[in-house]
Structures are given as structure tokens and as C-alpha cells.
Amino acid sequence: MKLNKPSFAKKLTASYLFVVAVTLLITGFYLTHRLKATFLSNVEQSLGAQAQLMRDLLVPVISHPANKQAPHEWAHQLGSRMGCRVTVIRADGAVLGDSERTLDELANMDNHGTRPEIQAALASGTGESLRFSRTLNENMLYVAVPVVLYGSARPWGVLRVALPLTEVHRRLSAFQNDLLKAGVAALGVAFIVAFIVTRRTAQPLMVLAGTAQEIGAGRFPREVALHSKDEFGQLARAFSDMSGRIEEKVKELSQERTQLSAILSALVEGVVAVDHEGRVLFLNPAAEKLFAVSSQDVMGRPVLEVLRHNAFQEVIHETLRHRQPVSHEIAIHSPQERTLMVQALPVSYGEDRTGVLVALQDITELRKLERLRQEFVANVSHELKTPLTAIKGYVETLLDGALEDKAHSREFLKIIEEHSRHLSLLIDDVLDLSAIEARRMEYHFDAVSLADITAKLIKGLAPMAKAKDIKIDNQLSDELPRVRADRAKLAQILMNLIDNAIKFNKAEGHVEISAVADGDHVSISVKDTGVGIAPEALPRVFERFYRADKARSHEIAGTGLGLAIVKHLIEAHQGTVTAQSHPGQGSIFTFTLPRA
């Protein structure tokens, strides 16, 4: 892993260099200062010693002067020999000799009586002064000693020795130069040392920082490449352990997460999780389907915005408000009409936060089935009641005396027989239907010849057809492929359809039975020239107890269950059934069966 240039190492190097530079600077200043003082005091001392020596040489020259210029010549001589300025000054301040001046210039020189070193020498024995010489135009160090002639108590004058400070400065700046060079060298060495030391210190930190970044990025190095025995080594080992443990924990968590999400995805129930602020945290595929939304779009958004179903939101709010489980049956109207059983549980998480976990069970089918069952029971009761009431009525009439009336009693008994037959038919159909719907019906599939079965059925129905003067035209030939069917059930299907075609036909009408092989199916049609079915009634004729023509249903004995049974039976054969009709002209019922 590439790390940015470690600013820590830079800072450390800079700190080292700063400390070294400051130390050097302070030492330099101090040394220069001290050295300057030492230089000056040395020069002062040696000038003092020279002055005293020269004074001894000056006394004879003053006491027995060869001529008037003798002090001046002496000053020149000594000055050039000693390499310094030598000035002879009388006690009244008059300059009698100066090594740096000619005789003519001497005459124009100031009275030196006011010079501090002269006054000090006359007063206390020696005088020193560091100041600018107007005569020579430079800084000079002056040392003056009083000159006392033999046998005299008062000083005759003063001998002054002076050295320009240029020399002192030259030596000092040479020293400063050396010091600067040494400083630069020291800084260079310090830089190299600092570089090495900081690299050594920063290297383990870089390694540890790199490892921490790797862990952060989800890679978990098992070993940190740092093997020192110091604290960094210990830290590295702690890092490796920690990395291993985090990896295990992350694996465990992701495994749990995968399992959980597999379970939630497989659940038929919808699951929705909402946080304490009513924002969607999670939605399983079943819930996505129920609300026709995608998890990605709704995640993190307020439930109010994304799942706009008042009843559902109310359940969530109630749960958030009371922190109690809430369970409600609600109806949603989009994307589909659905009835849902919503169970919401408050779930605590974080610090005093409560979200909601909602389970949604789609009970639309359940409720529909319940409704159908209730309707069915009501319908069956109603259908049973009609013939039973009639039977009861006629039996009572017979018992009340009609039995004696031979002519009527026979008619009444016939009616009673008719209703009993209807009752028995109704009960048979209801039993059949409930057996089919409860999947208790057994099927024995065989390769069956449609022509054979139909021919036998038509024979049985012939008297009924004859009574209405209806002609049955059976077009099924023996060449027709056999179908895979349960013989008895197929007979029941055909019986119902042909029976209807006769029942709902007109006098002198026709019934035509035909079939055609269509791919792996055989398609069979029963066509009549009867009353037909109104278009609005057509889709409902396969419903239980549905009768298209209520007025005629009393005249024509029927249970209203025949076509419902037919549809179930055909579907159990992997076939389909459809009805077409032209009211007043006739109907065609077509069904398919698989080829054997």
C-alpha cells in the first residue's frame, strides 16, 4: 500500500533541525560575544603592558630631550616597531608626539586633555577607552598611562597607546566565519542523523498506519510486517491479533447476514423494517412485490413518502407511538386490490431508539375463499330449500285430505317425485363439487375413444331429445386420436354439455358434436341451436349456481352446478373450456383434452 509522504517524519526532522539550529545560533551568539570581550580585554592588557614598557623608555627622552621634536620622533619609532599608534601628551593636553601624524599635522591636533582615557590616566593611573578616532577616522582602543619624571610627584603627561579595532573585528569575523561553517556542517550532520532517526521512528508508524487502512478497507492482514522487539513490535502484534479477530467477527456477521437475508427473501410474508423516525430500513422481495416498489428506491426514505397506504402508515405510527405490538387487517388498493394481515412489532435498538418490524401476510385468497364458502353454503341451503318446501307443501296437502282425491294425489306424488329427483341431483352435484374442490376426486387416466363414449351417451339421451324433437348429430369418427382421460369423468363432462344443449334448445333444434385434433390436443365442440347466452352472462356460466336465464331456470330442471363441475373436471385433465354464443341462435361449448 502506498502511503502519502509521512508528514510525521517531516515534522520530526524539522523539529530536530530547529532544535539544532537554535542551539547553534545561541551558542554562536554567546561565543562571538564572549570572544569579542576576551579579545578586547586581551588587546587591552597587552596594550597596557606595552604602554608601561614604553613609558620607561619615554622618561629619559622627556627628561633629556635631544631637541624639540624628540618625543615625536620617539613616538614614530616606537609606533612602527610595536605596530600600534603611540601618542605622547603633555599634562596640559598638548600632543607632543604621534606615530600616525607628521610634525606639521601635530601642530593642528586638538588638545587631548579632555579625552576620557587621558583624564582617567592622570586621575587614577591608567585609562582605557574604546571610541571613534576623529583623527584616524576609525574605531580605536586606547590605553593611557601617566608619565612621571624622576624626582617629580606630579605626572608630566600621558603616554597613550592605541590599536585600531579593525584588527579585532577581522579576527572576530574570521572566527564567526569558521563558526558559521562549523554550524552549517553541524546542521548537515544533524539533518542526516534526523533523517535516519525519523525514518526509523516513522517507518513502523507508516506500517501500522498502512495496516489500519487495510483493515478499514475490509482486507484483514494476518501479519504486520514489523518484527522489532520494542513497543512498536508489541503494537504490531496487537494489530495482527486485532485484524484476525475483526476478520472472524466480520465473517460471522456477514454469514449471519447472508442467512438472514436468504430467510427473509424466501419468506412468503412481506417484511418491512422502519427506523425510529419512520424511515424504511429494509424491505424483503415479498414486500417489494406487494407494494410494487424496489428496495433501492425506498431505502432510507420516509415510509410516508414511499408506501402511501394510509392504513399501513397508521399501523406503523401506532406502533411507534405506543411501543406495543399492533396487528390489523388492512386493504390496499394499488398496485392491486389486496387484503393484508399486518403485524407490527416495536424493536429497540441503539440508545433508547425504537423502530418497527412489520410482517405482511397476503390474506386476499383466504378471505376470498371464506367469502365463496359462505356464499356456497347460502346458495346450497337456498337450492335445497326450494324442492324441500315444495315436497313439504305437497305432503301436507296430501295428508290434509288430498290423498283421498285419487286424481290429484297421483299428480301431487309425481311432483313430489320430481322434486326429490332434483334434490338428489343437487346433492350429487354438491358432493361432486366439494370432492373436486377438496381434491378428493380420484382419476384413472386411460387412452379413451371419444367416438365410443359419445355414441353411448347419445343413446341414453335419445328419449329426452326425442321429447323436444331435437336432432343430435354426432360427427365424431373412429379415426379421431384417442385422448388421455378418466372414462367416467369424460362421460360426465359430455353428458352435462349435451344435456344443456338439449335442455336450452328450441323445439326441432339441432345438437352437433364435433372434434378436431390440434397438435397434442383434441378439441371437442358441442354446438346447439338453442336460446343462447347473453354476452354479459357468458363469462359467468362456469360459476357455481349461476343461471343465465333466471326466469326459465324454474321450468328447466337444473342445479346450476353442471358447468362448474365440467370446468373443474376438464382442468383436472389439463384441458381448457370456453363458451361462445349468439343469443337467440345457439351456443358452442368447446373443450380440449390432451392426446393419449
Binding region for ligand ADP (CB under 6 A): 496, 500-501, 504, 528, 530-533, 541, 546-549, 553, 558-564, 587
Nearer residue to ligand ADP within complex by CB, 522 or 566: 566
SS3 content of the chain, % helix, strand, coil (to 5): 55, 20, 25
Residue whose C-alpha is closest to residue 497's, from 522, 519, 514, 479: 514
Nearer residue to ligand ADP within complex by CB, 50 or 559: 559
Tell me the closest approach of the beta carbon of residue 523 to ligand ADP, in angstroms.
17
Residue whose C-alpha is closest to residue 379's, from 544, 232, 254: 544
Amino acid at 135: T
Closest residue to ligand ADP: CB criterion: 558
Amino acid at 260: L
Tell me the closest approach of the beta carbon of residue 585 to ligand ADP, in angstroms.
11
Peptide bond just before 335 cis, omega within 30 deg: yes
Tell me the closest approach of the beta carbon of residue 486 to ligand ADP, in angstroms.
20
- Are the beta carbons of 286 and 269 closer than 8 angstroms? yes
Per DSSP, the residues of 276-312 read: TTSBEEEE-HHHHHHHT--HHHHTTSBHHHHS--HHH
Query: What whole-number distance in Å separates Cα of residue 106 and Cα of residue 94?
Result: 9
Nearer residue to ligand ADP within complex by CB, 75 or 563: 563
**DSSP assignment, residue 441?**
-
**DSSP assignment, residue 554?**
T
Nearer residue to ligand ADP within complex by CB, 289 or 506: 506
What order do you get walking across the sheet with 338-349 strand by strand?
280-283, 270-274, 353-362, 338-349, 326-332
Nearer residue to ligand ADP within complex by CB, 361 or 514: 514
Tell me the closest approach of the beta carbon of residue 390 to ligand ADP, in angstroms.
17
Query: What whole-number distance in Å separates Cα of residue 321 and Cα of residue 455?
Result: 73
Assigned C-alpha cell, 365: 385468497
Indicate left, alpha or beta for 223 from its phi (over 0: left) and psi (-120 to 50: alpha).
Answer: beta
Nearer residue to ligand ADP within complex by CB, 12 or 563: 563
Sorted by sequence, the CB contacts under 8 Å of residue 480 that are 6+ apart come out as: 449, 450, 451, 515, 517, 522
Nearer residue to ligand ADP within complex by CB, 160 or 544: 544
Tell me the closest approach of the beta carbon of residue 454 to ligand ADP, in angstroms.
16
Nearer residue to ligand ADP within complex by CB, 232 or 504: 504
Tell me the closest approach of the beta carbon of residue 434 to ligand ADP, in angstroms.
16
Query: What whole-number distance in Å separates Cα of residue 287 and Cα of residue 271?
Result: 6
- Quickly count: other Cβ atoms within 10 Å of residue 349's Cβ: 12
Query: What whole-number distance in Å separates Cα of residue 319 and Cα of residue 324?
Result: 6
CA distances from 132 to 120, 129, 140, 432 (A): 17, 10, 6, 141
Nearer residue to ligand ADP within complex by CB, 38 or 553: 553
Tell me the closest approach of the beta carbon of residue 593 to ligand ADP, in angstroms.
19
Nearer residue to ligand ADP within complex by CB, 284 or 529: 529
Nearer residue to ligand ADP within complex by CB, 97 or 560: 560
Residue whose C-alpha is closest to residue 503's, from 534, 549, 546: 549
Residue 142 burial (C-beta neighbours within 10 Å; 0-12, 13-18, 19+): buried
Tell me the closest approach of the beta carbon of residue 302 to ligand ADP, in angstroms.
52
Nearer residue to ligand ADP within complex by CB, 112 or 503: 503
Residue with cell 502506498: 2
Per DSSP, the residues of 123-138 read: HHS-EEEEEEETTTTE
